[in-house]
């Protein structure tokens, strides 16, 4: 009956090892794999020892059983650390394996030296084999090692329970069970059941618990479950290449997107396929140069695919490239629909905005025309000066480096330059002759008043540049380059450029247009006055542009006659 117990433990451990092999995954912890490999070996040692007929046979079997006593407890402790997400330095792990090996090598000397057993004898009592031993120094070391591994395992579980929220409490409970059973059977098994060793039962129980743990941790390992889900679901294509762009493999979904992969042999360079080289390898080379370029889009047969590129890892080592291909057609069509809707909405908004701006401009022009209608000496002045400004800035655009926005804004602002005249008394504004000094002082106030009115009209507008230019044109178009102008007596480049340009167009129109107090001048005489004022009344840097645009001005004014 005693041998039956050991045989049952051996068969059960072999059966559970077979189950483990069947469900094995390459991402399983290596220490667990070693436990499933060594438990049947250790149980075989116990089963053979139960049949031993001599001391020599019993010692051989005992040496086999001690594989479990030494290494199983080490690998159990290391698996506990791994499952509890506690990282041990590799040198510490190597030291533990070396130390355990040294202890096991000392166990192999039993019967030949007094290092592990000082003396040992064989006896069989009621069918049970007993070895009467006097322990050596290394056996004491062995006991200390076993106790240390037990305590380290329990310490790791307690620490994880208290500190690590990402470790399953169920797994910690399961891990504690085989450790506790092993401690009881190891230190007190013979006291509980004197006829047999309880250690094989403890080992077998540990395998059963580890099978449950494996079933649980497969769910907790997000990396493994994510990859398995991607592969099994069929929705995501996977392609692998090494760093030399050799083809390593792909799944069915990827080959459906890239049928050319069916013609590639594993380990064959992907350069053999022109299409793969022009697409996939081009993406890989781009990613290799700039790792932020890890997302590509691929169109084929009215389908859109999103291709994400990452490094292919073997443990912590980069071994190549991995492509993840997902059908992105639905999302892309949705994006296209949204973009089309946004474009149509943007076009509609721009159309409405343009209409509002047009109404705004017409309103401003209407106000300027209304103001002009009060002055019976300047009919058509705002229209003519606006055209003069337009001709000047068009000539300046290239050489002077004026922006399109500046040119647009100053032409748009030109009709507003005399809005301040709305505040001038009709008797002065409509006077048919020249002003007295007092009247002229009142007339000069229209510049500052115009800037105030423009500011009120345009306050809060989104186009701050236009507001600034329009205020400057109204405020400073009567300033002179030499500082003798009004209202602030600005000098030189203190006068904004837009006001300097407006001044040329304003004076030119005053010279060549008929007023109630004068006849219009000839183009030649008006040109002489403008040129004479360059450097005193006008900015001399505007002279070459004025000279070049003069024929266009004369043609424009001639067409008005």
Q: pLDDT for 520-534, tens place per residue?
A: 888 899 889 999 999
Computed over every residue of the chain, the mean pLDDT equals: 81
Phi, psi of 27 (to 5 degrees): -90, 0
Task: Band the pLDDT of 222: cuts 50, 70, 90.
Answer: very low
Quick one: pLDDT at residue 95? 93
Quick one: pLDDT at residue 366? 65
* Domain 2-220 CATH (choose: 3.40.50.1000, 1.20.1070.10, 3.20.20.140, 3.40.47.10): 1.20.1070.10
Mean pLDDT of 131-148: 86
378: tokens are: 């300047």
Q: Which residues pair with 242 in a beta bridge?
A: 320
Q: What is the CA radius of gyration of the chain?
A: 48
- Residues 321 and 246: their CA atoms lie apart, in Å, by 10
Task: Please give the class, per CATH, of domain 369-560.
Answer: mainly alpha
Residue 22 predicted with pLDDT over 80: yes
Q: pLDDT for 506-522, tens place per residue?
A: 899 888 887 766 678 88
Quick one: pLDDT at residue 494? 93
- Residues 189 and 195: their CA atoms lie apart, in Å, by 10
Angle at 26 between CA 23 and CA 29, to 5 degrees: 90
Q: Is domain 233-327 given the CATH code 2.30.29.30 in the classification? A: no
- Enter the pTM of the model: 0.47
Residue 377 predicted with pLDDT over 70: no
Q: pLDDT for 99-118, tens place per residue?
A: 999 988 988 888 888 888 88
441: tokens are: 């002082």
- Residues 44 and 13: their CA atoms lie apart, in Å, by 10
Residue 379 predicted with pLDDT over 70: no
Q: pLDDT for 36-57, tens place per residue?
A: 888 898 888 888 888 888 888 8
Q: pLDDT for 326-364, tens place per residue?
A: 887 777 777 777 878 888 788 787 777 666 566 666 666
Residue 138 predicted with pLDDT over 80: yes
Q: Residues 551, 554, 557, 561: what is their CA dihedral angle, to the nearest 10 degrees? A: -120
> Measuring CA to CA, which residue among 197, 70, 34 is closest to residue 143?
70
The SS3 assignment for 328 reads coil
Phi, psi of 243 (to 5 degrees): -70, -15
Quick one: pLDDT at residue 482? 93
Quick one: pLDDT at residue 551? 93
> Measuring CA to CA, which residue among 523, 529, 511, 519 is closest to residue 549?
523
Q: Residues 78, 79, 85, 88: what is their CA dihedral angle, to the nearest 10 degrees? A: 20
- Residues 382 and 373: their CA atoms lie apart, in Å, by 11
Query: Among all chains, which residue has been given the structure tokens 């109630």?
Result: 516
Mean pLDDT of 149-165: 87
**Domain extents for the chain?**
2-220, 233-327, 369-560
More confident residue, 491 or 222: 491
* Helices within 422-522 (DSSP H only): 426-429, 437-444, 446-458, 464-476, 497-512
Quick one: pLDDT at residue 29? 77
320, 241 contact by CB (below 8 A): yes
């Amino acid at each position: 009956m005693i041998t039956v117990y050991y045989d049952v433990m051996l068969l059960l451990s072999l059966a559970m090892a077979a189950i483990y092999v069947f469900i094995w995954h390459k991402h399983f912890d290596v220490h667990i794999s070693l436990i499933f490999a060594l438990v049947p070996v250790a149980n075989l040692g116990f089963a053979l020892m139960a049949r031993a007929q001599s001391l020599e046979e019993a010692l051989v079997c005992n040496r086999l059983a001690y594989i479990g006593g030494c290494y199983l407890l080490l690998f159990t402790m290391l698996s506990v650390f791994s499952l509890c997400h506690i990282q041990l330095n590799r040198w510490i792990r190597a030291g533990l394996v070396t130390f355990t090996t040294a202890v096991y090598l000392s166990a192999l000397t039993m019967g030949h030296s007094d290092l592990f057993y000082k003396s040992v004898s064989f006896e069989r009592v009621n069918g049970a084999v007993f070895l009467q031993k006097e322990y050596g120094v290394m056996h004491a070391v062995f006991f200390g090692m076993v106790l240390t591994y037990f305590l380290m395992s329990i310490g790791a579980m307690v620490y994880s329970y208290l500190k690590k929220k990402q470790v399953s409490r169920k797994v910690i409970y399961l891990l504690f069970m085989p450790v506790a059973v092993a401690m009881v059977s190891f230190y007190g098994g013979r006291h509980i059941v004197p006829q047999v060793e309880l250690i094989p039962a403890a080992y077998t129980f540990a395998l059963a618990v580890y099978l449950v743990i494996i079933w649980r941790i497969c769910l907790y390992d997000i990396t493994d479950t994510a990859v398995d889900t991607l592969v099994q679901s069929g929705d995501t294509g996977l392609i692998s290449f090494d760093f030399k762009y050799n083809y390593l493999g792909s799944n069915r979904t990827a080959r459906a997107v890239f049928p050319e992969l069916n013609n590639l042999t594993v380990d064959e360079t992907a350069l053999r396929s022109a299409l793969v080289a022009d697409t996939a390898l081009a993406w890989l080379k781009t990613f290799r140069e700039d790792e932020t370029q890890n997302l590509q889009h691929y169109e084929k047969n009215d389908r859109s695919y999103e291709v994400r590129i990452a490094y292919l890892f073997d443990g912590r080592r980069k071994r190549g490239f991995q492509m993840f291909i997902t059908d992105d057609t639905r999302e892309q069509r949705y994006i296209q629909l949204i973009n089309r809707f946004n474009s149509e909405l943007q076009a509609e908004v721009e159309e409405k905005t343009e209409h509002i701006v047009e109404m705004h401009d017409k309103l401003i022009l209407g106000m300027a025309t209304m103001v002009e209608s009060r002055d019976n000496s300047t009919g058509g002045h705002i229209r003519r000066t606006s055209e003069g400004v337009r001709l000047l800035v068009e000539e300046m655009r290239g050489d002077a480096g004026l922006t399109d926005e500046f040119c647009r804004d100053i032409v748009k602002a030109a009709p507003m330059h005399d809005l301040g005249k709305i505040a001038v008394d009709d008797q002065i504004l409509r006077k048919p002759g020249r002003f007295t000094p007092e009247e002229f002082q009142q007339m000069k106030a229209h510049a500052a008043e115009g800037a105030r009115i423009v500011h009120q009209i345009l306050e809060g507008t989104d186009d701050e540049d236009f507001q600034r230019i329009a205020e400057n044109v109204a405020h400073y178009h009567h300033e002179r380059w030499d500082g003798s102008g009004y209202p602030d007596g600005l000098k030189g480049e203190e006068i904004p450029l837009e006001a300097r340009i407006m001044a040329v167009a304003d004076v030119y129109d005053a010279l060549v247009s008929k007023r109630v107090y004068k006849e219009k001048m000839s183009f030649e005489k008006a040109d002489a006055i403008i040129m004479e004022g360059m450097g005193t009344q006008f900015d001399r840097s505007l002279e070459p542009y004025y000279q070049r645009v003069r024929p266009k001005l004369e043609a424009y004014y001639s067409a008005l006659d």
